[in-house]
Structure 1
């Protein structure tokens, strides 16, 4: 079997979808030794393929949208390469797939739930093609049961499988000396709250910062800092201004950090806060949980799935966030290892079963 893959996210910056695709690809390489793989992208990849059985096909494009490139170019390339199954890692399929079996992965339904938070090109691509492509795919995989349920409710489409994101081995409870050492290097002192995510509207970081600064001004969190880890995204003008303004109130943006540093930040935090307006799963919540951190999360099914039963669930409003942070600041109960750790290997196994079912 030869499997073609939309690898556009592997040419970009760190993101949840990028990690999802990369980790599953490494799993597929070990679990499907009889198969070959072709990675398609309009831009050079920023990762190395898992093995020699992986081809990389770069066809540059001046098109404004990578989705237009996917629609107009990839189907013909895949047929010419003898691909049997095409994995639409970003849900949307190439235009001409008559000779191919197709698997569409649905990460979220953001274009329906929170369209105003999306980049314009992405929003319009989803409005044009998302529903039709999900319905014509030979198999549909979601990244959470919450997304599967929402897909059925919104589009009437049943998911064929759920492949949840895993948690890397580096995200485990950390020895106290390791936490101290890592935090010292990062110039971080306890106590602090931590948020992780690309700087973009859906993450609701403006409300988080305003909630935190209000508590500081009221004298309720005098010694605390709010640390934000994540790369710049889109529609961030107001957010950037607040990041600069609130520096004097203990808000710090750390940009990108390594997984080893992030594990220490999770484990050393008073709480990890994820006040997103919407998530398809919420990988950072699962990572924080695996490190033993207390999680404060928006009360939606998808985050209940990733954050677990020990989390503090809130409304994603400044008032709700303030309530959750104050509750977390009262004390820090010991949070044990999750009753079931999410595994990238299991996610890859789900995809293997789906691919082989289409042979």
Structure 2
């Protein structure tokens, strides 16, 4: 099978989509039935040739590159999404082109599958930047209609695609993601070294994700403030992630709540250090108002960290009964749940074990096998 994967997300921020491309392509590249090519546009601003070849060497895949500048592609073709499309594809036939980042590629000769990770821009447009909203509003519905098949990360996303994009159910399959194998329980010595590197205490409350409205960090801060006011707990809150859209209210709220000494922002954390950051936490929190999947939840669970998540969108699918699910804006409930996990050692140990058990249900080998089955199903039509 000649398989082309849109690998452009690998060259951007290390978000969930980049991890999806990295882990999926790494497993698929080991399949003897597949001749895998990673599609990059090397002429995009900021793209570094060594990074492209690094991913190819890591997976054993070949590379296809774009020889036309982005601006030229935008003038020549109808969709403005062709920054993902390497020029090599115009003259080569792929059995499957897998658009890993929402979009359909109309110039590819062969079957096209896209992965839609979420429809947050439709469910909660007020939490989405104008740039993303305009882009997705125009091209995600178009891509969903024109492609041969759609992969959704969760049942929530599948239902959103059916309801909001009016796509027939038979065109959509759900394939959950997984945490990379690097996320695991590691020894205290290695954790200590990384915590010292970032000047972090041990046993903190952890959040990992982009600083943007959909992640509901303001809600988490309100709950954390209530926890500190109403108990003797002095546990720090550590927030890992880059600044996204409309992040300034988060910092203003910290000032208003006088939490400057208690909340630690690390900014970007290198991939190789992130497992230790999870392991150094006492509990992990994801108070999002919407998630298409919520990969950091699984990363934390695989490290044996008890998790608290919102009881909305896809998070109940991921957490199941193996963590605590709460209304995203119930300040009192979040404060009480954090206090319980921080102070009740027996409860903490129970949910730590439950986290590991739950994470075992999600592996990239399983995700890749199910994805391969979709490729075969589409090719057989």
TM-score normalised to the size of structure 2? 0.83
| Alpha-carbon distance between aligned partners in 2 of 1:236 and 1:152, rounded to the nearest angstrom | 31
- Aligned pairs for 1:187-198 within 5 A: 187-198=199-210
- Aligned pairs for 1:109-124 within 5 A: 109-124=119-134
Query: Which residue of the partner structure matches residue 24 of structure 2?
Result: 24
Which residues of structure 1 form unaligned runs of 5+? Answer: none
**1:126 and 2:136 equivalent?**
yes
Query: Which residue of the partner structure matches residue 264 of structure 1?
Result: 276
**1:338 and 2:342 equivalent?**
no
**1:206 and 2:218 equivalent?**
yes
Report the alpha carbon displacement of residue 269 of structure 1 after superposing the two structures with TM: 2.0
**1:280 and 2:292 equivalent?**
yes
Change beyond 3 A, Cα 1:132–1:236:
same
The CA deviation string for residues 116-137 of structure 1, in whole angstroms up to 9 with x for no partner, is 2222222112212322321332
| Alpha-carbon distance between aligned partners in 2 of 1:73 and 1:52, rounded to the nearest angstrom | 17
Tell whether the 8 Å contact from 2:3 to 2:96 is kept in structure 1 after alignment: yes
**1:226 and 2:237 equivalent?**
yes
Tell whether the 8 Å contact from 1:170 to 1:259 is kept in structure 2 after alignment: no
Query: Which residue of the partner structure matches residue 328 of structure 2?
Result: 316
1:310 is paired with a residue of what secondary structure? Answer: coil
**1:163 and 2:146 equivalent?**
no
Query: Which residue of the partner structure matches residue 95 of structure 2?
Result: 84
Query: Which residue of the partner structure matches residue 40 of structure 1?
Result: 40
Query: Which residue of the partner structure matches residue 61 of structure 1?
Result: 70
Tell whether the 8 Å contact from 2:105 to 2:112 is kept in structure 1 after alignment: no
Report the alpha carbon displacement of residue 82 of structure 1 after superposing the two structures with TM: 2.7
Change beyond 3 A, Cα 1:298–1:37:
same
Structure 1 runs (4+) deviating above 6 angstroms are none
2:177 is paired with a residue of what secondary structure? Answer: coil
Report the alpha carbon displacement of residue 34 of structure 1 after superposing the two structures with TM: 4.4
Using CA pairs below 8 Å that are at least 6 residues apart, which structure has the higher relative contact order?
1
Tell whether the 8 Å contact from 1:195 to 1:274 is kept in structure 2 after alignment: yes
Report the alpha carbon displacement of residue 296 of structure 1 after superposing the two structures with TM: 0.6
Report the alpha carbon displacement of residue 176 of structure 1 after superposing the two structures with TM: 3.5
Number of aligned residue pairs = 356
Tell whether the 8 Å contact from 1:289 to 1:308 is kept in structure 2 after alignment: no
Query: Which residue of the partner structure matches residue 143 of structure 1?
Result: 153
Change beyond 3 A, Cα 1:287–1:206:
same
**1:10 and 2:10 equivalent?**
yes
Q: Which moved more, 1:76-85 or 1:287-296?
A: 76-85
Tell whether the 8 Å contact from 2:310 to 2:327 is kept in structure 1 after alignment: yes
| Alpha-carbon distance between aligned partners in 2 of 1:106 and 1:130, rounded to the nearest angstrom | 8
Tell whether the 8 Å contact from 2:111 to 2:378 is kept in structure 1 after alignment: yes
Tell whether the 8 Å contact from 1:179 to 1:268 is kept in structure 2 after alignment: yes
